[in-house]
Amino acid sequence: MPGPPEAAALAAVAAFLEATVRVATPLGFAAIGETIAERTGVINVGLEGAMLAGALGAAIGAAGGSPWTGLAAGAAAGGLVAAVFAVFVVGLRADQIVTGTAMTMLAIGVTGAAYRATFGTTGAALDVPTFGPAAVPGLARLPVIGGALFAQAAPTYLLFLVVPVVWWILMRSQAGLAMRAAGEAPHAAEAAGIGVGRWRAGATVVGGALGGLGGAALVLAQAGTFAERMTAGRGFIAIAIVVLGRWHPLGVAAAALMFGAASALQYAAQAARLHVPYQLILMAPYVVTLLALAGVQGRARAPEFLGKA
Amino acid sequence: MSEVLAGLVRATPLLLCGLAVSLAFRAGVWNIGAEGQFYAGAVAATWIGTRVAPSVPPVVLVVLVPLAAATAGAVWAGVPAWLRARFGVLEVITTIMLNFIAEHGVAWLVHGPLQEAARTYPQSDAIAPAARLTPLLAGTRLTWAFPAAILLALAAWFLVARTRPGFALRAAGANPEAARVTGRINVTRVTTVAFLASGALAGLAGAAEVSGVTFALYERLSPGYGYTAIAVALLARLDPRWVVPSALFFGSLEAGASALQRSAGIPSVTVYAVEALVVLGVVALDRQVWRARPA
């Protein structure tokens, strides 16, 4: 048995890793969804809006049922936002950046108004049923990593499934080849009989649904409530994570974990009672995003037709 | 009358930020960061108004405040401009990150270094009377910043539409590859300068708000001017002249929304949805301009 100081240090590391995975979960869902869309050539800056819609959808869905109905409602809301986006950028070939920005504004306005209409102007006292941590018997007791990997809430386990599935579909299946062709060489793909527009629209909607799941995970496994603009830029950070992960599902998952760790440092700093103003600690994830983008870009290559018609 | 005035007061920062966005978008620079650049300008104006103003003659302030605010906005835009020029980092994400950093930075300043001497509320001291803009009409908060912003809009239009640098800016935005191969347009330099100028304009908006309307800095000073500015610029089809009526429209809309929230309980966030629908409408109807560029 380790002595008390070592045990305390191990417990602190285990708590940090547990927080890392928990905080990375919403980012991971959104970033893996955006990876799918971007591989087909669509950059969805409205991802923040999809996450926000997913968060409100999850709160409403769970308030009337269980956390599971909340999760489903969150995915549907995120997919719906992305579907509207897809109508404009795939159907009308509108500019992706401008449309995506508008979708995020639309989601901020609609969720804010819908929230107040549903739960009253005070906005207080909204408690939705949440997913508690579900420990896997035995494995959760593993030292250091047990809590991080095997004592998480249900959405995290769902993400553990989603990442390899997306990797296999995108990188190993026939469908994935068609999607990547749409992003790299749409004219050649079209000539080869691949319906580029359909793959893009489909990938965008699926990506938005995953973004909605990210927003839902935020509500159902972390906050336990909805608040206006509660996603606080996570959708945009997720887009940076895709760059950082070099558009590869496994790289993106790793990059999401890195951001989870950067955010979990906030809790560690608070626990350690460091005398840093908390406003500056709140700034950390955004600063990390900037630095990370500066560090990685130029060495990572985006899909050739990303953001172009 | 008071509603009309409220709309005009609200239109002033929207006009300056709308110019900032239209200039950047015209050059093909996706500056979504007017919000953060606005805060940078507001901080500069507050710092000078509370710390520097007592020790310099008032006439110096007339130049110093806008100059410092424009510089602060340009510096805040300079970070993503440099990342774009040097590393090719997509400015959409970096400017949004800097918006969040600015918001938290202002929160820290008004709880810390710039907090009022009384240390009661999270706000700065009121700026010195000498640093305040004179109202156009006594007793109102409509100041000279409003007609000055209109003049700036006309100047920006002239620059973009009628001069050689303006042509380079439009060429760089419309088709950067074609502009580059002419050999006469340094696309990176043109877009970087446009990016910095855009930040400077948004910074001026922050100064106009602090020096003419609030006289102090506090958290959430901006109700999202930098984001509304995107709708302002797009409705104006990025033409600086049309930014003026567009800003008046959205200023009145937002002032009306605030009044509705007070009187009828309709949440003012709804106005974001309206603005988004305007943008989507413009994007859908105006395909000539807003079609995604072929590669």
pLDDT in tens, A185-213: 999 999 999 999 999 999 999 999 999 99
CA distance B277 to chain A (A): 7
Per-residue pLDDT tens for A222-268? 888 898 889 999 999 999 999 999 999 999 999 999 999 988 887 77
Taking the C-alpha atoms of residue B111 and residue A125, their distance in angstroms, rounded to an integer, is 28
Burial B46-66 (b: 16+ CB within 10 A, else e): bbbbbebbeeeeeeebeebbb
Rg, Å, chain B Cα set: 19
CATH 2.60.40 fits A14-296, yes or no: no
CA distance B230 to B254: 14
pLDDT, tens only, A28-54: 999 999 999 999 999 999 999 999 999
CA distance linking residue A56 with residue A34, whole number of Å: 20
Interchain contact B285–A (C-beta under 8 A)? no
**Statement: residue B244 has pLDDT above 90:** yes
Of the candidates B97, B227, B272, the beta carbon closest to that of A286 is on: B97
**3 state SS of B134:** coil
Interface of A with B in 69-88 (CB under 8 A): 88
Q: A193 CB contacts (<8 Å, ≥6 apart)?
A: none
CATH code for the domain defined by B2-290: 1.10.3470
Q: Do B274 and A307 touch (CB under 8 A)?
A: no
- Whether this prediction's pTM lies above 0.90 is answered by yes
B280 interaction partners in chain A (CB closer than 8 Å): 88, 99, 102, 106
**CA closest to B288 among chain A residues:** A94
Q: Which residue of B has its CA nearest to A282?
A: B104
B104-148 confidence digits (pLDDT tens): 999 999 999 999 999 999 999 999 999 999 898 888 889 999 999
B264 shares contact with chain A (CB less than 8 Å): no
For residue A280, give the nearest of B108, B270, B277 by CB distance.
B108
Nearest CA to B47 among B106, B120, B104?
A: B106
The stretch A99-105 carries a mean pLDDT of: 94
- pLDDT surpassing 50 at residue B68: yes
CA distance A280 to chain B (A): 7
Closest Cα partner for B153 from B234, B247, B37, B251?
Answer: B247
B151: contact with A, CB 8 A cutoff:
no
The residues in A 179-238 lying below 8 A from B, measured between CB atoms, are: 228, 232-233, 236-237
- What is the rounded CA–CA span in Å between residue B210 and residue B206? 6
Report the gap between the CA of B104 and the closest CA in chain A (Å): 6
pLDDT band (50, 70, 90) for residue B242? very high
Residues B5-46: pLDDT tens digits? Answer: 899 999 999 999 999 999 999 999 999 999 999 999 999 999
* Cβ contact A290–B98 (<8 Å): yes
Taking the CA atoms of A258, B108, A107 and A153 in sequence, report the sign of the dihedral they define: positive
Q: Tally C-beta pairs within 8 A across A and B.
A: 153
Exposed/middle/buried for residue A172 (C-beta within 10 Å: 0-12, 13-18, 19+): exposed
- Report the alpha-carbon distance of residue A244 to residue A254 in Å, rounded: 9
Summarize the confidence of residues B216-240 as an average pLDDT. Answer: 93
* DSSP bridge partners of B83: none
Residue B135 has φ and ψ, to the nearest 5°, of: -65, 145
- The pLDDT value given to residue A273: 72
